[in-house]
Amino acid sequence: MDNPALNSLASDVRGLDTLRRAARDNSPEALKAAAKQFEAMFLQVVIKSMREASHGDELFGGQEGKMFQDMLDQQWAQVMTEGGGTGLARVLERQLSANARSADTSITPPLKPLSESGLFQGLPQMPAAARSAALRQSLQAGTASAEDIEAAIAELTPPRGRDVPEHARAFVERVWPAALSASRATGIPAQFLVAQAALETGWGRAELSAADGSPSHNLFNIKAGSSWQGDTVTVTASEYVDGRWVKQPDAFRRYGSYEESFADYARLLKSQPRYAPVLGAQDAGSFARGLQQAGYATDPAYADKLQRIINGPLLRAALSG
């Protein structure tokens, strides 16, 4: 490419404005440049994350040193995209080109400041491993949009300094994809569903199991009932009856996977009229209280416990990857 304006760094506001104007005309040159800038931004974040994971550099300490180090990282990222780069730019260019052919370029999408994004509001994000895996899958399938790619790059560096127990991190990583599917079916945020599964199973460490120790994959402790035609496990569970806790055996549903568990839970919420107020709930209080008022659990403190997990630091840290 021989257009210096389109080759400017991604952090150069004038360069980005030039790219935006050219992209409105579906310029192949602009799309190629935008793809390379996305790749450079991605590489810069990766380099920065690797550097922050090291023990530090006593020689180049202080704010001035950090500023020059960031400039060097930016330049390295730009250099690494030259030539063939990592191959990411070529994939992005193909996807951007496909989107451009079907997009209505007469409409300029509204831009929001970074301060309004979920990352800066402390809202739970997709776990890092699940996020990167989802991006890879969407790129390979050719379904990733420019917004998907930009959001993934922005979220690559999770908050640091949080001590997350390994069992909690592993639990969230394991169930997150299934929670996303159930979220799309119910309109309930995926982190709310993960929090409820964590409450019901003690973050995966108290999952119902059969007599031989095999797992039930029942993350929401849904009882079998007379209408259930699938496998079951019989477990002695605690129920709050007439003001006191009692233990009694009961049959619970058994699934072949966590995906089946989340899918069946979504069907339960959608099929029972009493759970109608819960569907689409977007705040922790409404979701937790709605479940308790609908009689989901006999524990009188169920809503409070669930809300504490949703708003608690452990879930937020585990979701941050």
Residues with catalytic function: 239, 264
DSSP secondary structure string for all residues of 123-157 = -----HHHHHHHHHHHHHHT---HHHHHHHHHTSS
Measured CA angle at 280 (ends 279, 282), to 5 deg: 125
Instruction: Tokens for 295, please give them.
Output: 């009689």
Residue spans of alpha helices (H) in the chain: 13-24, 28-52, 62-80, 88-102, 128-141, 146-154, 166-186, 190-201, 258-271, 284-293, 302-311, 313-319
Instruction: Tokens for 297, please give them.
Output: 């659990």
CA–CA distances in Å: residue 153 to residues 39, 133, 146, 217, 286 = 9, 13, 11, 33, 32
Contacts of 97 (CB under 8 A, 6+ apart): 28, 31
Which among 195, 205, 217 is positioned nearest to 288, based on CA atoms? Answer: 195
User: Distance (Å, rounded) from C-alpha 87 to C-alpha 91?
Assistant: 7
Amino acid at 84: G
Amino acid at 157: T
User: Strands 232-241, 244-253: parallel, antiparallel or unpaired by DSSP?
Assistant: antiparallel
User: Distance (Å, rounded) from C-alpha 95 to C-alpha 72?
Assistant: 30
CA–CA distances in Å: residue 127 to residues 155, 228, 284, 293 = 10, 33, 19, 31
